[in-house]
Amino acid sequence: MDLDDNIFMLPGPVKMHPRVLRAMSLPARAHRDPTFFEIHREIRELLKYTFQTNYDVAVISGSGTAGMDAAISNLLTKKHTAVVAHNGKFGERLVEIVKRYSNAIAVGAEWGEVIDTEKVAEAVEENDVDAVVLCHNETSTGVTNPAWEIGKIAKKHGLLYILDGITSVGGIEVRPEKMGADVVVFGSQKCVAAPAGMAALAVSPRAEEMMVENPPYYLDLKKHLEKYNNPEKADTPYTCAIPLFQALLEALRMIKEEGIEERWRKCAAMGEATREAVKAMGLKLFPRDERYASNTLTAIWLPEGVTDKEFRGTLKEKYHVVVAGAQEHIKGKVFRIGHMGIVKWTDLAATIVAIEATMRELGLDVERGAGPGVIAEHMARYGL
Amino acid sequence: MDLDDNIFMLPGPVKMHPRVLRAMSLPARAHRDPTFFEIHREIRELLKYTFQTNYDVAVISGSGTAGMDAAISNLLTKKHTAVVAHNGKFGERLVEIVKRYSNAIAVGAEWGEVIDTEKVAEAVEENDVDAVVLCHNETSTGVTNPAWEIGKIAKKHGLLYILDGITSVGGIEVRPEKMGADVVVFGSQKCVAAPAGMAALAVSPRAEEMMVENPPYYLDLKKHLEKYNNPEKADTPYTCAIPLFQALLEALRMIKEEGIEERWRKCAAMGEATREAVKAMGLKLFPRDERYASNTLTAIWLPEGVTDKEFRGTLKEKYHVVVAGAQEHIKGKVFRIGHMGIVKWTDLAATIVAIEATMRELGLDVERGAGPGVIAEHMARYGL
């Protein structure tokens, strides 16, 4: 496939702007140089804007999982217990991470369902609990969990609240202080539209005081925070992934230029448009309750009678439109469209038209122009 | 400073070839796609070539320190004891990492000295020891430690041997099986001349069998090895730093094209030429015993009477030649020239001429053309 010529609609990694690609491909430079400290300093300030926080921030060279691993391993030990709510692959991963270092009370919901806040409240009330861990936006199922309400439960009981914002921060409203979140993590290749390979964290002063002794060496969050928030110079304890940081700076500048509220508003509008469009085409959303369907990606049941290979294969090979499949037990049954970061209305429009063409080609019933018409209507309403 | 117009002679990050930069700046692509599994597969085979090993290999998205942290945290627990030899900043870091998870018997030498193999043998014989940990090429001091001899000691006692090859692999002869090394790690921004942000590991079958339960989640080496060495498809357990992997593939292809022995030979020739040149200019090597001076970087005392700022500042601002300072207690006293990766003879020649010009400008005694003449002689002898 021609990487320069496709419509790239994954729920991460996402399309990167040429400005970001150019920043990434600069020649080698020293990371312990005043000009690079300046890059870190600007990233730091832009991260606070993107997270909408005054907390200290850090960037770890590693995946989003590295960020959640750092958050959990630096705050929880075998002496602690955390309620971990899960309703998909990434929530389940959080259960695994918590169990690696601490004790987990898993509060589960089916894939496609939303987390039941009542059950979280019960688990917190009925057990001796130190923390609540939640995946805000479950990328595997396209469900956004009620992170604000769960934050209230954590706050009421004075619990640490660790939030996986990997595919929410930058696309869905997150405000750590107002949500009562102590740690929020995002992955660089998601809503901020930077390359994969970095995890950013915002950490409350309370959490900074509760850091454990002897966490995993590379993920020692105290060290990372101390270096990155040094007012004199921002730096990382170990060599950072230099080109990725240059790209992250550019991607964060683009968020600032557009405005974070505008990004949230665009994701909300595109999420709604996508849902309405696929329904108009006779497709069914995977999330059971549409009120909790994510605004940064949409998970959709594959139409009956076609395989994932036929459906996504046609989209990709014939129309050069790249959407994601699904994972684990819903693999081959569900596909996912990402609409976060710098995805444009015209990208979404082309995707929906290509889905209509694909359905037609595969002999499926689809009303002519129904999906694309919905997108046109929402595009016009959005005021582009 | 104009990043496109300088002679970049750090001991990492190092100059990257335009082929590598271009591969890094490709548009976004899916990491769970057959075309990307193919990238991983080719990296895997080229890593075996670069490491000169048949061991399983893995690449972790993170710094070289992440690689050493993975090696140590997956093999050593509080029930184990490791002899850790150290003679510089990075060896000292290994002591810290070992202490985080296990028990360390630190066998130290002064910065600039080589590790005394007798002392390592004594420490191994006099204690109940499970492993030996060594930094092969101490980047902070420009000393190459006798990793082959220490491997013999480890082998004699049946001990695990964990080798930090961060600035040796790809520049100095390393052969894990022949050295008796169980884990060897390299950093991507060093001798292989890829961007910063990846650590590669080669792991012996014996070490694979000795992996501990519940290592740090992100650094779970068993998972990384299992995924990367799957004969059907090579993959990573978590999202990898996609653009960096594309760049790594290109950098490793360039090693294969040139030949690993040729890279070793070039580093050896450039190392010798650098040492002879700086001595001819009246400068003094930092390593006490020149026989152990590194071939991938050269550490040199700053000339008396000039500050680091004057010396490296002039080199950089006036001649656009970038060399490194030093760290910790030798900061401001020593400078370091990297000559690994794709650094060319003409880069080295220009660097030495610029050092002569700088010395002249700062009013220091220097014999006209002595250093550059040495380089010319070695260049000619090398047969370029």
- Strand A160-164 and strand A183-187: the pairing is parallel
The CB-based long-range contact list for B117-125 (8 Å cut-off, 24+ gap) reads B117/B146, B117/B149, B117/B150, B117/B153, B119/B85, B120/B83, B120/B85, B120/B150, B120/B153, B121/B153, B123/B83, B124/B83, B124/B153, B124/B154, B124/B157, B124/B159, B125/B157
CB B24 within 8 A of CB B195: yes
Judge if A210 and A322 occupy the same domain. Answer: no
Residue in B16, B61, B216 nearest the CB of A197: B61
Kindly tell me if the per-residue pLDDT of B126 is higher than 90.
Answer: yes
| Span A116-138, average pLDDT | 98
Strand B334-338 versus strand B137-138 pairing type: unpaired
Q: Are residues B34 and B175 in the same domain?
A: yes
- Indicate if A247 and A273 belong to the same structural domain: no
Q: Say yes or no: A264 and A365 in one domain.
A: yes
Q: What is the mean pLDDT of residues A45-54?
A: 98
CB contact under 8 A, A28 and B15: yes
Shortest distance between the Cα of B63 and any Cα of chain A, in A, equals 6
From the number of C-beta atoms within 10 Å of its C-beta (0-12, 13-18, 19+), residue A32 rates as middle
Mean pLDDT, chain A, integer: 97
pLDDT at A4: 86
What does chain A come to in residues?
384
Same domain, B244 and B287: no
**What does the alpha-carbon distance between residue B327 and residue B371 come to, in Å, rounded to a whole number?**
26
Instruction: Say yes or no for a CB contact (<8 Å) between A324 and B15.
Output: no
Q: How many CA atoms lie within 13 A of B118 on its CB side?
A: 0
In a domain, A346, yes or no: yes
Selecting from A13, A70, A240 the residue whose C-beta is nearest the C-beta of B196 gives A240
- For residues B224 and B237, the answer to whether their CB atoms sit within 8 Å is yes
The single residue listed with the structure tokens 């009330």 is: A125
Element (H, E) at A197: none
Q: Is the pLDDT of residue A298 over 90?
A: yes
Residue of A nearest to B32 (CA): A324
Whether residue A237 is found in the same domain as residue A324: no
Last residue of a domain, one of A258, A284, A311: A258
Domain-located, residue A68: yes
State how far residue B233 is from chain A, nearest Cα, in angstroms.
Answer: 17
- Evaluate the omega torsion of the peptide bond into residue B13 and state whether it is cis, within 30 degrees of 0: yes
pLDDT in the model for residue B384: 58
- Is residue A191 located within the same domain as residue A253? yes
Counting residues of chain A whose pLDDT is more than 90, the rounded percentage is: 98
pLDDT above 70 for B229: yes
Contact between A30 and B13 using a beta-carbon 8 Å cutoff:
yes
Contact A295, A287 (CB under 8 A): no
A374-382 contacts, C-beta under 8 A, 24 or more apart = A374/A273, A374/A276, A374/A277, A374/A280, A375/A273, A375/A277, A375/A345, A375/A348, A375/A349, A376/A349, A377/A273, A378/A269, A378/A270, A378/A272, A378/A273, A378/A276, A378/A277, A379/A273, A379/A345, A379/A349, A381/A269, A382/A266, A382/A269, A382/A345
Q: Are residues A269 and A230 in the same domain?
A: no
**At B213, phi and psi to the nearest 5?**
-80, 145
> Is B174 domain-assigned?
yes
Q: Specify whether the CB–CB gap between B363 and B213 falls below 8 A.
A: no
* CA atoms of B320 and B329, how far apart (whole Å): 27
CA triplet A35, A38, A40: central angle to 5 degrees? Answer: 120
Encoded amino acid at A48, one letter: K
Distance from CA of B31 to the nearest CA of A (A): 8
- Full residue range of the structural domain in which residue B276 is found: 7-13+260-382
Strands A81-86 and A131-135, sheet pairing? parallel
pLDDT computed for residue A217 by the predictor: 98
**A258, A281, A303: which is the final residue of a domain?**
A258
Q: Which two three-digit tokens encode residue A93? A: 């991963």
Residues in chain A with CB shorter than 8 Å from the CB of B100 are: 214, 216-217
User: Does B234 share its domain with B337?
Assistant: no
Q: Which residues of A touch B17 (CB under 8 A)?
A: none
Distance CA B284, CA B325 (A): 15
pLDDT-derived band at B2, boundaries 50, 70, 90:
confident
Q: What angle do CA A246, A38, A65 make, to 5 degrees?
A: 50
Q: What are phi and psi of B208, to 5 degrees?
A: -60, -30
* A225 and A293 housed in the same domain: no
Residue A334's CATH number:
3.90.1150.10
CB A143 within 8 A of CB A88: yes
Beta-sheet strands, E only, within chain B: 7-8, 56-61, 81-86, 103-108, 131-135, 137-138, 143-144, 160-164, 183-187, 198-203, 297-301, 321-322, 334-338
The pLDDT tens digits of the residues spanning A213-235 come to 999 999 999 999 999 999 999 99
Question: What is the structure's pLDDT at A310?
Answer: 98
Q: What is the ipTM of this complex?
A: 0.96
Q: Would you state the pLDDT for residue A381?
A: 93
**In a shared domain, residues B289 and B220:** no
Q: CA-CA distance, A111 to A109, in Å (whole number)?
A: 6
Residue A1: inside a domain, yes or no?
no
In this structure, the answer to whether residues B143 and B210 fall within a common structural domain is yes
- Picking from B258, B279, B307, the residue at the C-terminal end of a domain is B258
Determine, yes or no, domain membership for A208: yes
Output the pTM of the full model: 0.97
In a domain, A2, yes or no: no
Identify whether B2 is part of a domain: no
Per the rule left: phi > 0, alpha: psi between -120 and 50, beta: everything else, A170 is: left
Average pLDDT over residues B273-295: 98
* Direct distance between the N- and C-terminal alpha carbons of chain A, in angstroms, rounded to an integer: 31
In chain A, % helix, strand, coil (3-state, to 5) comes to 45, 15, 40
Q: With 0-12 CB in 10 A as exposed, 13-18 as middle and 19+ as buried, what is A296?
A: buried
Contacts of A218 (CB under 8 A, 6+ apart): A62, A238, B62, B63, B65, B66, B69, B70, B216, B219
Has residue A384 got a pLDDT over 70? Answer: no
Minimum-distance CB partner of B217 among A24, A100, A243? A100
DSSP string covering B277-303, please?
HHHHTT--BSSSSGGGB-SSEEEEEPP
> Burial, B215: exposed, middle or buried (Cβ in 10 Å; 0-12, 13-18, 19+)?
buried
Going by C-alpha positions, the residue among A67, A130, A86 that lies closest to residue A96 is A86
Q: What is the C-alpha separation between B38 and B35, in angstroms, rounded?
A: 5
Note the pLDDT of residue B203. 98
Nearest CB to B63: which of A21, A198, A239? Answer: A239
| Alpha carbons B62 and B195: distance in angstroms, whole number | 11
Domain count, chain A: 2
Assigned domain for B1 exists: no
> Tell me, what CATH number does B237's domain have?
3.40.640.10
What whole-number distance in Å separates Cα of residue B174 and Cα of residue B167?
A: 11
Report the amino acid identity of residue A292: Y
Could you tell me which chain A residue has the CA closest to the CA of B67? A218
CB pairs under 8 A between A and B: 190
Read off the pLDDT of each residue in A317-334 and give the average, rounded to a whole number. Answer: 98
Nearest neighbour of B216 by CB, restricted to A1, A29, A73? A73
| Cα distances (Å, whole numbers) of residue B344 to B218, B250, B255, B269, B348 | 37, 18, 14, 11, 6
The DSSP secondary-structure symbol of B224 reads H
Residues in A touching B30 (Cβ below 8 Å): 10, 13, 322, 324
CB neighbour list of residue A231: distance below 8 Å, 6 or more residues apart: none
Rounded to 5 degrees, φ, ψ at A185 are -125, 140
